[in-house]
Structure 1
Amino acid sequence: MNEIPRGTLQEQTFYEQVGGEPVFRRLVHRFYEGVADDPLLRPMYPEEDLGPAEERFALFLMQYWGGPRTYSENRGHPRLRMRHAPFRVDRAAHDAWLRHMRVAVEELELAPEHETQLWNYLTYAAASMINSEG
């Protein structure tokens, strides 16, 4: 019987395949560098320091892609639409969010299949957050 060694690509999560925590932290940090100077998105982050939002988003993405469950352990179910409901998220905000995320994703220089998988999720997630016409 041929056994597949543990840790092979078939058993690895997306999180592991792309490089784990450091990759997701780079992605989110670069994204928030763009948000910090964005006149449309920055007001949606009431905290003076974007650090807490950056940490929450990094933990969420790591968990979503198969990493540690720290996000849920600290904050419960993600409830993304509910958490974003207080903010007016229209098409312009959606586009700005994706513009900053595109830069962050491209700078990771992931394998094409991983980049496509990640980008498909991010575009879906961004579209699902729209809660206002405009």
Structure 2
Amino acid sequence: MTNNDSTKPTPPSLYEWAGGMEAFQRLTSIFYAKVKEDELLSEVFRHMSPDHPEHVAFFVAEVFGGPKRYSELAGNSAHAEMVSHHISRRLTQTQRQRWIALLLESADEINLPDDPEFRSAFVAYLEWGTRLAVLNSQSDINPITTEPMPKWGWGEVGGPYQAPSE
């Protein structure tokens, strides 16, 4: 497949480069097993449903250009549905940092690609998403109602953060 220039191949999606759905399911399975045992995070996830890792795998896979399985399960308000899980949780920066550290450790364990371009995009998304999760967790009202699912690629420029319009 090529782009309009026809001299450069179109890069694969982050989803494809990571190894597809199997990679994301392995990642979230290993990661959430660690979370359940983690001193700092286990309390946050103590009521996690058994299918939570798979739902998160579907979400991240879709964000990275994979199939729209999360949206199919959650409907038109898929992004708002994900954000709703963070409302009123009062997450801390320390918890956010630990969450990222465990996820990156899990990514290494399953041999997720470690080339600089992929890991840069992967970590950028984790930073962006977890910082929004902490912000949203301080509220008792979901600020997301009609925003589309996020899309993440090899280099995203979104400008300065602006809260969703009310």
Which TM-score bucket, shorter chain as reference? 0.7 to 0.9
In structure 1, the residue matched to 2:155 is none
Distance in 2, matches of 1:53 and 1:65, equals 18
**DSSP 3-state at the match of 1:43:** coil
Q: Does 1:102 align with 2:100?
A: no
Distance in 1, matches of 2:12 and 2:27, equals 20
| More helix per residue | 1
Aligned-residue Cα RMSD (Å) equals 2.4
In structure 2, the residue matched to 1:57 is 56
When residues 106 and 38 of structure 1 are mapped into structure 2, their CA distance, relative to the original with a 3 A threshold, is same
When residues 9 and 34 of structure 1 are mapped into structure 2, their CA distance, relative to the original with a 3 A threshold, is farther
Give a deviation string over 1:92-121, Cα, whole Å, max 9, x none: 211221121120222324122111111111
In structure 1, the residue matched to 2:37 is 37
Normalised to the residue count of structure 2, the TM-score between the two structures is: 0.66
Distance in 2, matches of 1:22 and 1:125, equals 22
In structure 1, the residue matched to 2:93 is 91
Q: Is the 8 A contact 2:36 2:45 kept in 1?
A: no
In structure 2, the residue matched to 1:123 is 127
Q: Is the 8 A contact 1:9 1:17 kept in 2?
A: no
Distance in 2, matches of 1:119 and 1:129, equals 15
Percent of counterpart pairs with the same letter? 24
Distance in 1, matches of 2:92 and 2:55, equals 22
Question: Unaligned stretches of 5+ in structure 2?
Answer: 139-166
